[in-house]
Homo-oligomer: A and B are copies of this chain.
Amino acid sequence: MAHHAMLLIVVLGVLSITTPGTTHPLDPLSAAEITAVRTAVLASPLVPARPLHFHYVGLDEPDKPDVLAYAYGAAGSSSHALPPRRAFVIARAGGQSHELRVDVTNASSPSVLSHAVHRGAGFPTITLEEQFAAQALAPAYPPFAESMRTRGLLVEDVICSVLPVGWFGGAGARRVAKLQCFVAGATANYYARPIEGVTMVVDLDRLAIVGFRDRVAYPVPKAEGTEYRAGKAGPALAGPAPAPGVVVQPEGRGFDIDGHVVRWANWEFHVGYDVRAGAVISLASVHDEDAGLRRRVLYRGFVSEIFVPYMDLSEEWYYRTFLDAGEFDLGLWAYPLQPGADCPANAAYLDSYNVDQDGNPVKVRNMMCVFERYAGDVAWRHTESGFPSQLITEVRSDVSLVVRMVVSAGNYDYILDWEFKTSGSIKFVVSLTGILEMKATSYTHADEITVDAHGTLVSENTLAIYHDHYVTYYLDLDIDGTNNSFVKNIIITTRRNTGNPTTGGADTPRRSYWTVRREVAETEADGKVDVDAVPAPTCCS
């Protein structure tokens, strides 16, 4: 799934020194705060081992009551007293995973508040530097070079992906990853040219290859016509271009961004950032003009995980059960958005800071965009033809506000939208694009396939392996306050032949109807919906 990025730090590593002061308790850590975290951790006697690598640095969010008091006040008027600023750190040193909390309220005198060593299963996310270093091991590893020579491939044309090994029970003792390789050469689309059958295992702490197997060889797909770069793609991929469209707003933008707070139409919310989750939406509320008050909708929401299991059991594929957030960090794979293409011309952009493994802030320009979306759609309309004297047509255009981030997790690109509607609803839109993860095969035509191929033959010698993308969200909804419940509506069908005493006592010719059973979920477990369950039944005669 995810793939390392040799160039990342060069491209994105221009650190801006002039960061605006923190104005909101949920603002992500500033460059100055990140630098203060680094200073405090490296100066702390609690973790003396070196090298020390930073795997996660992010805001240690204040407790919810403190944030609510800041935003809405204790008794209706907000206090606007900033709670202490704290960072949470996951670092790796001396073969151990360390968790630290650092106070950076005064960035010139930061202090480590707590330290713990993680003892259970699981490891921190893989840093970009580790992926770069792991990938660089392959060409210099003699058994791999020999395998390439046997296949007639040039080692210098090869690019390898660093892939987590999955988790199949037990507490893994070693922090390892696997390398799977491709032929790049003339095409940017090396995913279409997998070198099937060769697997290397890398120890990420020692940065050494600790396992190698060349199990089977299949032809590397020719992958003709799969180049995608403008000017290099063939006519079929380039295609007849439709006329471009541009959204303009004759009255100007309808939103403003004050620090990280966005105000638009009846909405107000905070756009934070976390390297693992990406965009974090907090304190979203709508102004109710009729009631003359601001009504709370969402305390906090973000993408908590993207789980991508593949369905091929072979040695090179069974372990591909990627956790794009928990193994790779969504924010680490978000690159600058292309104005006018990734987001329309009327968009505004937000920059963010990531942290390299040495603890330095790395600015990513245009990591998120905010824009008013107008697609020519209708928010609400009605034509009323029931009056003798007039035909009434009332149409309200659908303009919404979108917060967008794009995560290019190796071959796949996720476009993750939060769309705010004037009706008070929030719509999550996930668009999957990019390139399929493909497997080389000896098949050249679907007619040759007689056993389960675990995928679709999409081209000569090329299988696209079956897989899922589960995008899960953390949602702390505060509809009109914290005292609310999750209600499940379950459709129940009744098939019948006799009168219903609850509906006027009359017999009815209807043989079936459905109704709704409401269940209040007392706990999160109660709120689970089994996607295997029988869906809403068809009805009725």
Contacts and interface: CB of A to CB of B under 8 A. Distances in A.
Contacts of A335: 383, 385, 391, 393
A235 interface: yes
A175 interface: no
A153 interface: no
Contact of A242 (B313, B372, B508): B372
A428 interface: no
Contact of A7 (B318, B373, B387, B509): B387
B7 A168 contact: no
A315 B504 contact: yes
Contacts of A244: 249-251, 374, 397, 399
B250 A503 contact: no
A513 B289 CA distance: 52
A40 B535 CA distance: 52
Given A168-B510, A289-B236, A333-B385, A252 B247 contact: no
B245 A401 contact: no
Nearest to A245: B374
Interface string A180-194: 000010001010000
A8 B385 CA distance: 7
A52 B502 CA distance: 45
Nearest to A509: B168
Contacts of A243: 249, 251-255, 372, 399
B415 A381 contact: yes
Q: Is the interface of A mostly helix, strand, loop or mixed?
A: loop
A15 interface: no
A413 B245 contact: no
A534 B531 CA distance: 9
28 contacts: A4-B386, A5-B391, A161-B386, A236-B290, A238-B289, A239-B265, A240-B422, A242-B265, A243-B249, A243-B253, A243-B255, A244-B397, A245-B397, A245-B399, A246-B374, A313-B500, A313-B510, A315-B506, A378-B433, A381-B406, A382-B411, A382-B434, A383-B408, A454-B515, A466-B514, A468-B539, A534-B534, A535-B535
Nearest to A504: B314
A504 B215 contact: yes
A161 B413 CA distance: 51
A315 B503 CA distance: 8
Contact of A452 (B11, B184, B389, B502): B502
Interface stretch (A56-64, A107-115, A276-284, A342-350): A342-350
A388 interface: yes
A392 interface: yes
Contact of A451 (B312, B386, B502): B502
B532 A534 contact: yes
A418 to B, nearest CB: 14
A532 B535 contact: yes
Nearest to A170: B509
A402 interface: yes
The 3 closest A-B pairs by CB, nearest first: A245-B374, A243-B254, A375-B375
Most chain-B CB neighbours within 10 Å: which of A242, A381, A383, A388? A242
Interface string A410-454: 110101000000100000000101110000000000000001101
Nearest to A454: B515
B466 A516 contact: yes
Contact of A431 (B378, B384, B392, B504): B378
B532 A434 contact: no
Contacts of A373: 245, 375-376
